[in-house]
Structure 1
Amino acid sequence: MSDPSHSASADIDIVVVGAGLVGVTSALALARQGHRVLVLDTQEPGRGASYGNAGHLATEQVFPIADASILKSLPGMLMDPMGPLRLDWKYLPRALPWLTQLVLNLRPAPFRQSVAGIRALNERSLAAWQRLLASVDSVHLLKVGGSLLVYEKPESRQKLAALESRMREQQVPVEWWERETIQRAAPQLSEDLLGGLFFPATGHVLDPWRVVTTLVEAARRQGVRFAQETVRSAQVVESGVRLVTDSQQLVARQVLIACGAHSAALTAQLTGKRVPLDTERGYHLMLPREHNRLPFAVTSLERRFIMTPMETGLRLAGTVEFAGLHAPPNMARAWQLHHLSRGLFKADLDVEGATPWMGFRPSLPDSLPIIDHVYGGRVLLAFGHHHLGLTQSAITAELIADLAGPSEHGAPVTSIDRENLPPLEPYRLARFG
């Protein structure tokens, strides 16, 4: 249902399609440039992947979502319904072109380009989040306390050492921790853990949903309006962009497509380009009775999932499934996360009252988002951040505000420091032909 205060499009500068973290942070940044902004989404703001993400600001994850080992893993992905990385065999024909492009991007030159593009965003992301949350008096929602990647098997030590070397090559701050250091920092973890890598320049949010709602309220105070409507079609016209929703037609000077895994169709309508956007279906299991188990997010190298401490309990997340947007969720995969946690602590986790969740992470085969503007700036694009949507949303919002420029109607509330922004070339739409 639309916001009853909105009855015409004459007072809209920019329509943002998508009310996840990327859309909401961008809407706030655009409003602070003086733009009159309307945000449209099928769901309540923040109810998609932004609600259920792992909460980890993963600035250390500068490598693409897959490496050459995915080829050897493909049979297991198809056969094991509970594996950490699963491909639904019924979805394989649709996923095959995307997977083919993924493999092609593993060649040395495109792989290096992907790493450089991810790193350029990630190394600016934490500071961007600190600026954003400080601007809404909510720095307390972000805990910059590092994160830990642990290993259990002696044969994993060499693999972890190689990863440490690659991280250092990319100038990612990293420390090697032996078992004793882990026990001092996180005494509830099992003494069977042999060691790990600690990433001091990372952090986590205390509640992703609270972060979204805080930013939505800040955007409302800045004049941003929100409407729960589905955009059915979009077209570039002489005066800007025409959008057709379930209940009305809107014409705005500019539109921002930031609806995550649902962005491909509108992008094709507006630009004529079919982007190879697919979705990683991510699951989490929220444990409301688990508080004070961990001081920071902990990831298991062998078990391939993450545990993040939050205000509302402990969140287990990280499993990935390729099955498209329409297959029903397999919540057994969420409950599998509790099984994976067994043995990582001195005492098993309490699952009483636990709640499972599934959401869609928008993924492009080169592991880089699309952040761009086309048609003279009438169409802005910000999607495809895969599992780094939370991490990269604040810096993406700054890039979008810079692309849009200041409004003709109102003076900017904040200025953009362009020296903090990465070059846009790696994220251009044109890279997909």
Structure 2
Amino acid sequence: MNNTSGLGSLTVIGAGIVGLSAAIQLQRAGFNVTVIDKEGAGAGASKGNAGHFATEHTFPLADSTMLLKLPGMLLDPLGPFRIQPRYFFKALPWFMRFLQNMLPGRRAHNSAAIKALNLGAIDAMRSLTKFCGCEHLLTLNGGLLVFEGTPVAEVEKEFRAYVDAGVEVQLLSGDQVRALEPSLSENITHGFNFTHVGHTEDPYRLCLALQAKFKEIGGQVVTDELLQIKAAKINSTIALEMSSGDSRHTDRLIIASGAWSKPFARQLGYSVPLETERGYHLMMPQKSKLSRTVTSYERKFIITPMAEGTRLAGTVEFGGLKAPPVDARADCLFPHGKALLPELFRDASASDGKRWMGFRPSLPDSLPVLGRSQKQSNVFFSFGHQHLGLTWSAITAELLTQEVTGKQTDIDLSPYRIDRFS
């Protein structure tokens, strides 16, 4: 089935969940869409993420309360946050911008922009999965944030912060947490039940389902690597030079390459402070009885029930795109998982699991780059979704389609403009 109506050719660079979601909506809008990716659908961070639709995350990562904790976190090689020593000075400019975004005014601005995307994220994903016939890969059963040893006053303060931010949340006792999820540890004293969040049992299968629907409606997926973009400032055809030696031309271009988007932005005249967060997971074969995601406040990690077992995820490491994975960064998740699910992992060990490492594209203000280029009228961007790529993929696809087709966008896209860093 070819669902084009003569709006011209459009190429999406990147076949992760963000690029595929955009490609589907743009193909539906009437463009002749091609997706190009060097590895294939969902091969990067989209394959191994925690599978959590995290609309409760309304707060930017740049938080002044981190400052006292940061040195200890950085010195702990197996802690939730680490910079590889050899990478420290390369990452320093990013961290200087990150510190600037802790200022109250900037933090409030960034939080409002995060919330604007979160508000429509679940409904957009529900609509997308329905269109693609994969509603079973979206479970909307809420999510828990659990506390083990945090003082009650701090728990209540955190709860008020979420309520004040407009997040749908319930404060639970430890017994109430275990009433929802009986397999959780007796050491849990409190929990937040976020009622308007969800998860997928297999983010990779979700990507494959989107790709299949995209092809069904006439889209094309090409496995190749983009090397060079030649785009004029006026609205003219864009030339793409590929590693295969192929030279392609397209009327419109979308850069949705995640952590690999920075050099393409540079070719188009933009200096973007995009840094790579190396995220790890440990995929355990044991299937939990959990019906939703469980995040630990103290341990800074997340447990997600998956089709093939139980995924433990959540560590952050700055080390660039080239350094090999550090297996210990995945293995260190196991004792945390065992602490929260003691019966499930009683006779297990980290060696039972499969380790994975992927690259999150992160900007210092915790906002993505989204919308039209100010230098080339037929170039658009959708990258830098940091920890919320899965969460924001469908909503940013809808907004980007409105932008490309010249319609009024549902929310103001100015906070996400690529030139906000200049």
Q: What corresponds to 2:358 in structure 1?
A: 359
Q: Deviations over 1:29-50 (max 9, x none)?
A: 1100111111111112100000
Q: Give 2:146's match in structure 1, choosing from 150, 158, 169.
A: 150
Deviation at 1:183, TM superposition (A): 1.5
Moved more, 15-24 or 370-379: 370-379
Query: What do the CA deviations read for 1:22-67 (whole angstroms, capped 9, x no partner)?
Result: 0011011110011111111111210000000000000000011231
Distance in 2 (alpha carbons) for counterparts of 1:364 and 1:240: 30
| Residue 11 (structure 1) shift | 11
Residue in 2 aligned with 1:196? Answer: 191
Shift of 1:353: 4.2
Superimposed CA distance per residue, residues 363-384 of structure 1 (whole angstroms, 9 cap, x where no aligned partner): 0000000101124531110000
Question: Which of the numbers 202, 206, 227 marks the counterpart of 1:207?
Answer: 202
- Alpha-carbon distance change, 92 to 376 in structure 1, aligned in 2, over 3 angstroms: closer
Q: Which ranges of structure 2 fall in alignment gaps of 5 or more residues? A: 1-5
Task: Select 1:30's aligned residue among 9, 16, 26.
Answer: 26
TM-score by length of 2: 0.94
Tell me the number of residue pairs that the alignment of Structure 1 and Structure 2 aligns: 410
Matching of residue 174 in structure 1 with residue 173 in structure 2:
no
Q: Secondary structure at the match of 2:229?
A: strand
For the Cα contact (< 8 Å) 1:285–1:356, is it kept in 2? Answer: yes
Confirm or deny that 1:159 pairs with 2:157.
no
2:267 to 252, 266, 269: 269
User: How far apart, in 2, do the equivalents of 1:262 and 1:21 lie?
Assistant: 14
8 A contact 1:285–1:335 mirrored in 2? yes
Q: Does 1:17 align with 2:13?
A: yes
Q: 1: CA distance between counterparts of 2:417 and 2:250?
A: 23
Aligned counterpart, 1:378: 378
Instruction: Find the aligned partners of 2:321 and 2:10 in 1 and give their Cα distance.
Output: 27
1:55 to 47, 51, 56: 51
Task: Tell me the TM-score normalized by structure 1.
Answer: 0.91
Q: Distance in 1 between matches of 2:344 and 2:305?
A: 15
Cα-to-partner distance string for 1:120-172 (whole Å, 9 max, x where unaligned): 001110000001011112211111000000011142x3222111111111110
Query: Aligned to 1:69, what secondary structure does the other structure show?
Result: helix
1:2-39 CA-partner distances (Å, limit 9, x unpaired): xxxxxxxx996111111100001101111001111111
Pick the aligned partner of 1:244 from 241, 262, 271: 241
Sequence identity percentage:
40
Alpha-carbon distance in structure 1 between the residues aligned to 2:421 and 2:311: 36
Structure 1 range deviating more: 349-358 or 169-178: 349-358
The amino acid across from 2:201 in the alignment is L
Q: Aligned residue for 1:297?
A: 293
Give the gaps of 5 or more residues in structure 1: 1-9, 407-415
- 1:260 alignment counterpart: 258
- Alignment-mate amino acid for residue 423 of structure 1: D
Q: Secondary structure at the match of 1:359?
A: strand
SS in 1 for 2:261: helix
- Are 1:306 and 1:318, in contact at CA under 8 Å, matched by a contact in 2? yes
Match of 2:84 in 1: 88
Question: Equivalents in 2 of 1:11, 1:370: separation in Å?
Answer: 24
Query: Is the contact between residue 62 and residue 115 of structure 1 (CA under 8 Å) also seen in structure 2?
Result: yes
Q: Aligned letter for 1:426?
A: P
Q: Is the 8 A contact 1:173 1:200 kept in 2?
A: yes
**1:74 & 1:245 partners in 2: Cα distance?**
42
